[in-house]
């Protein structure tokens, strides 16, 4: 069956309760990855799928799993009737929550149960639902292993394993965790691996964990979405901020994600933008999960117009109609560019991705162009002198310096993070709101720095009473800012 012959979901042979949910979601036509992956997955084949963010990959793996599990669905209240049959691993809690939300939607007319577990929240809150039994478990690797250690779940009946955003999992240093998890699963199972980029390491991972996988790709690996207009401005480091303000003014009332490399620079930028009449909220890994989710919800709802984000925080964000992405700092890892600009131009919509390149970053941008096999048009930034640079405004501190940034970094457990904008002030001003959503994807974990990160995060963990096995998704974030 080719993707051209599939014009609707019914032709894929999916069960009625799933078709009903799909229809209620407003989907009329399978996306290319769905058209290719669903028939193969229904034939119990292992898949290695290359699909960019926003291609509909979550439904591509969820629907065939739900379809296959449907005959096993039970309305019994006995936990024994609801063993974990499908395990979906995702690198970040944001992505895990999003995947779970999708699965819940697709399964809503079935008796199949699902839940999600991720780090950064009290493990005890996740136990009751696991006790009642779920067929589909979405998890971040670290937290899953915490549950295994606490014996709150069993993986010995898993029939499906999904590795979502596998490239990110490797970037975050999850390989040892993945190996431990894989060793706990039955050998006889179907494996579905999704990755936006295909590095040699990803191919090695596929060789190790998949059984003779079929390779499917909906776009050239490491390709960027044709719907996204990409441009770049050459701009001096000290003029970037001013130029960004200029740019944001060109897109009034439109949602934008501004990417920085580290938590610290995201936080700095958000604070500086606030001083430039752009109120900001700094949200980072040391803040509670609830606060991070609230920021994402506010962004999705349109209350917050701009998000200053590091790669980890923005990873897996499912935001429809995001028209603009700004690469404020160019990542040293060229694949990050593909992920970043994948935030816009989703599901066939048009998007714009603008990169601001300073003299030190041209070499990283060259690498990006090599990776995507495309030259991005560049022009010299015309920085208007009428826009007051944020940093030159008198700050609240009388010295004109932002004292907070002169301090060495300390995790929030030890010191309260600066409160750039409160919900109240955001509500008060009808101006563009920026949230800095912070994480650490630019961080490339090595066994050494990951151990260090775990140790560091372990400190804040004591406070939140989380187990010693710290989820690596948090650990990576902490390491980022300290590097």
320 part of the interface to ligand AMP, by CB under 6 A: yes
Q: How many of the other CB atoms lie within 10 Å of CB of 187?
A: 6
31 part of the interface to ligand AMP, by CB under 6 A: yes
Q: How far is the CB of 110 from ligand AMP (least distance, A)?
A: 18
When the beta carbons of 40 and 421 are compared against ligand AMP, the nearer one is: 40
Pick from 32, 39, 56, 91 the residue near ligand AMP by CB under 6 A. Answer: 56
Q: How far is the CB of 309 from ligand AMP (least distance, A)?
A: 17
Q: If you search the block for the tokens 């292993």, which residue do you land on?
A: 145
62 part of the interface to ligand AMP, by CB under 6 A: no
Classify strands 214-217 and 256-259 as parallel, antiparallel or unpaired. Answer: unpaired
CB 281 within 8 A of CB 434: yes
When the beta carbons of 300 and 378 are compared against ligand AMP, the nearer one is: 300
- 161-200 footprint of ligand AMP as x/- string (CB under 6 A): ----------------------------------------
Q: How far is the CB of 72 from ligand AMP (least distance, A)?
A: 24
Pick from 55, 68, 126, 190 the residue near ligand AMP by CB under 6 A. Answer: 55
Pick from 7, 208, 215, 347 the residue near ligand AMP by CB under 6 A. Answer: 347
User: Which of helix, strand or coil describes residue 239?
Assistant: helix
318 part of the interface to ligand AMP, by CB under 6 A: yes
Binding part of the chain for ligand AMP, among 27-35, 137-145, 179-187, 281-289 by CB under 6 A, reads 27-35
53 part of the interface to ligand AMP, by CB under 6 A: yes
Pick from 54, 173, 439, 440 the residue near ligand AMP by CB under 6 A. Answer: 54
64 part of the interface to ligand AMP, by CB under 6 A: no
59 part of the interface to ligand AMP, by CB under 6 A: yes
Alpha helices, DSSP H only, in 107-226?
127-132, 141-149, 166-171, 175-184, 200-209
Q: Which residues contact 354 (CB under 8 A, 6 or more apart)?
A: 231, 232, 233, 247, 324, 325, 326, 327
- d(Cα 372, Cα 369) in Å, to the nearest integer? 5
Q: Contacts by 250-254 with C-beta closer than 8 Å and gap 24+?
A: 251/323, 251/324, 252/432, 253/305, 254/305, 254/323, 254/324
Residue 471's Cβ-count burial label (10 Å; 0-12, 13-18, 19+) is buried
Pick from 46, 47, 58, 437 the residue near ligand AMP by CB under 6 A. Answer: 58
Q: Which residues bind ligand AMP (CB under 6 A)?
A: 27, 29-31, 34, 53-59, 318, 320, 346-347
């Amino acid at each position: 069956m080719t993707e051209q012959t599939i014009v609707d979901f019914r032709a894929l042979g999916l069960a009625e309760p799933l078709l009903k949910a799909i229809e209620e979601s407003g989907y009329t036509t399978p996306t290319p990855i769905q058209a290719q992956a669903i028939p193969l997955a229904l034939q119990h084949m292992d898949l290695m799928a290359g699909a960019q963010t926003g291609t509909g990959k979550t439904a591509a793996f969820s629907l065939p799993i739900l379809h296959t599990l449907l005959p096993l669905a039970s309305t019994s209240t006995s936990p024994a009737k609801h063993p974990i049959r499908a395990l979906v691993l995702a690198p970040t809690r944001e992505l895990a929550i999003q995947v779970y939300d999708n699965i819940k939607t697709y399964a809503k007319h079935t008796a199949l149960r699902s839940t999600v577990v991720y780090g950064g929240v009290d493990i005890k809150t996740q136990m009751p639902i696991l006790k009642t039994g779920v067929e589909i478990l979405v998890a971040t690797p670290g937290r899953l292993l915490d549950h295994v250690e606490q014996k709150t779940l069993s993986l010995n009946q898993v029939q499906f394993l999904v590795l979502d955003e596998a490239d990110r999992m490797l970037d975050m240093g999850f390989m040892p965790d993945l190996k431990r998890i894989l060793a706990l699963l039955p050998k006889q199972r179907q494996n579905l691996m999704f990755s936006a980029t295909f590095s040699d390491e990803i191919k090695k991972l596929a060789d190790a964990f998949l059984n003779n996988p079929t390779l499917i790709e909906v776009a050239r690996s490491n390709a960027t979405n044709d719907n996204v207009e990409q441009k770049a401005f050459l701009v001096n480091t000290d003029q970037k901020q001013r130029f960004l303000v200029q740019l944001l003014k060109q897109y009034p009332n439109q949602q934008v994600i501004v990417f920085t490399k580290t938590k610290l620079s995201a936080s700095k930028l958000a604070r500086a933008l606030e001083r430039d009449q752009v109120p900001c909220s700094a949200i980072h890994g040391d803040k509670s999960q609830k606060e991070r989710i609230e920021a994402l919800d506010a962004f999705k709802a349109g209350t917050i117009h701009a998000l200053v984000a590091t790669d980890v925080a923005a990873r897996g964000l499912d935001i429809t109609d995001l028209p603009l992405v700004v690469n404020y700092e160019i990542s040293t890892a060229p694949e990050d560019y593909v992920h970043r600009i994948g935030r816009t131009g989703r599901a066939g919509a048009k998007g714009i991705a603008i990169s601001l390149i300073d003299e030190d970053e041209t070499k990283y941008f060259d690498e990006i162009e090599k990776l995507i096999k495309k030259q991005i048009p560049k022009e010299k930034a015309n920085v208007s002198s009428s826009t007051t640079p944020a940093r030159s405004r008198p700050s609240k501190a009388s010295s004109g310096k932002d004292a907070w940034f002169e301090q060495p970094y300390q995790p929030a457990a030890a010191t309260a993070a600066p409160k750039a904008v409160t919900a109240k002030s955001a509500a008060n001003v009808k101006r563009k709101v920026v949230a800095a959503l912070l994480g650490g994807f630019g961080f490339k974990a090595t066994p050494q720095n990951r151990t260090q990160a775990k140790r560091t995060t372990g400190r804040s963990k004591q406070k939140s009473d989380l187990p010693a096995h710290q989820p690596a998704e948090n650990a990576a974030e902490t390491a980022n800012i300290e590097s």
